[in-house]
Amino acid sequence: MVKQESESANRPDNTAFTQQRLPAWQPILSAGIVIPGFVLIGLAFIGIGVALLVTSRSIQVLELDYTGDGNGSPCSSCSQSTTVNCKCSLNFTLDTLFQGPVFFYYGLSNYFQNYRRYGASKDDNQLYGDLSYFTSPSSSCSPYDYDGSKNPIVPCGSIANSMFNDTFTLTRTVSGKTDSVPLDGKGIAWWTDYNVKYRNPSVTPLKNAFNGTVKPIDWAKPAYELDTSDASNNGFVNQDFLVWMRRAALPNFRKLYRRIDASGDYQNGLPAGNYTIDITYNYPVRVFNGAKKVVFSNVSWMGGKNEFLGIAYLVIGSLCVVMSVVMLIVYAKFKFPDEE
């Protein structure tokens, strides 16, 4: 009896798991499943691709370079001088209505906001409005943490320091009458950036919070004077500042500058007419062979104009179909003789 018990004690558990016999679905990637699957996926992709391409084609984009490289270009004089707030203007004509909502971007190229050291050069705590970091900025901001006389810089770091400082105004000339196009600067930055991630110190007036600090070296005015007209757009929560602070992924990038305020004449976008962009030219890009441009674009449900996605869908979709045909041929030719 004792022996019997010891035997059964040593006997392995006879469960489906221990015997590796759990019930299982055993799919096989056989031609029979894959070929119809590919056809279906291919057709679906082609469908999506066509839809995307059509949508993308319907999006209007107007892109104007104002770097001032060539002598004939309107901003060439500004690009060569080092004058502060150099003025120049660009003219363009719309023959038809530029369907709204219209977004007004500025674009930089060959500009590396994705340099590692550049990207690290900011102090999130400072930008969260933590006053203790005003007087002692994070060392990651170096060399933009203290100025020559050891005063702390607020906001510190190279991202903030290099904030884009060209400004634009858009005017429309209708039958000799110049009409300024209303631009809306609200909501151009991420909601979370504006409301959560960046905060002004809760000191009124805001100017007092910056006592003992200096403005970034390349800035014309301190942070608390970025938009003196609107307290909710001033300091660290200034929308232009927030847009700049979100680093672009690639060296050629656009950043949202304004939206065309959909009111009055501009209810449906930019009506046909002659337009002028008055530029306050400050930002130097020619030293590093960069370029600057302004872009008007409207969007669809899928965002801005992007032919790539539609084409890629079409390519992959047709590849799927082609592959399924190839597989079918291979299958038919080589499979059936084998069955004999």
Q: Which of 200, 254, 270, 277 binds another protein (CB under 8 A)?
A: 254
Q: Which of 168, 251, 274, 282 binds another protein (CB under 8 A)?
A: 251
Q: Note whether 40 binds another protein by CB under 8 A.
A: no
To another protein, the closest distance from the beta carbon of 234 in angstroms equals: 20
The one-letter amino acid at 240: D
Of 81, 194, 61, 77, nearest in space to 127 by CA: 194
Contact map string, positions 190 to 209, toward another protein, x by CB under 8 A: x-x---xx------------
Segment interacting with another protein (CB under 8 A) among 79-87, 91-99, 269-277, 322-330? 322-330
Q: How far apart are CA 201 and CA 194, in angstroms?
A: 14
Here the tokens at position 245 are 């602070």
| 110: region left, alpha or beta (phi > 0 left; psi from -120 to 50 alpha) | left
To another protein, the closest distance from the beta carbon of 207 in angstroms equals: 26
Q: How far apart are CA 269 and CA 261, in angstroms?
A: 9
Q: Which of 67, 68, 100, 113 binds another protein (CB under 8 A)?
A: 113
What residue spans of 123-229 are helical by DSSP H? 124-127, 132-135, 158-161, 191-192, 206-209
Q: Note whether 150 binds another protein by CB under 8 A.
A: no
To another protein, the closest distance from the beta carbon of 130 in angstroms equals: 11
| Beta carbons within 8 Å of 168's beta carbon, 6+ residues apart | 104, 106, 257, 258, 277, 278, 279, 280, 294
To another protein, the closest distance from the beta carbon of 39 in angstroms equals: 13
Q: Which of 1, 11, 205, 229 binds another protein (CB under 8 A)?
A: 11
CB of 174 within 8 A of CB of 180? no
To another protein, the closest distance from the beta carbon of 34 in angstroms equals: 5
Residue closer to another protein (CB basis): 64 or 327: 327
Instruction: For tokens 């499943």, name the residue.
Output: 33
Binding residues among 157-196 for another protein as defined by CB under 8 A: 158, 161-162, 187-190, 192, 196
Binding residues among 41-70 for another protein as defined by CB under 8 A: 41, 45, 48, 52
Beta bridge partners of 87: 280
Q: Which of 156, 181, 320, 321 binds another protein (CB under 8 A)?
A: 320
Q: Note whether 124 binds another protein by CB under 8 A.
A: yes
Q: Which of 1, 28, 72, 229 binds another protein (CB under 8 A)?
A: 28
Instruction: For tokens 């022996």, name the residue.
Output: 3
Here the tokens at position 6 are 């010891």
Beta-strand ranges (E) seen in 156-244 are: 167-174, 177-180, 183-184
To another protein, the closest distance from the beta carbon of 174 in angstroms equals: 25
Residue closer to another protein (CB basis): 207 or 323: 323
Residue closer to another protein (CB basis): 82 or 175: 82
CB of 234 within 8 A of CB of 200? yes
> What's phi and psi for 205, nearest 5 deg?
-70, 160
Binding residues among 288-317 for another protein as defined by CB under 8 A: 288-289, 297, 299-306, 308-309, 312-313, 316
Q: Which of 181, 206, 259, 268 binds another protein (CB under 8 A)?
A: 259
Q: How far apart are CA 84 and CA 81, in angstroms?
A: 9
Q: Note whether 272 binds another protein by CB under 8 A.
A: no
Q: How far apart are CA 46 and CA 56, in angstroms?
A: 15
Here the tokens at position 60 are 């209007």
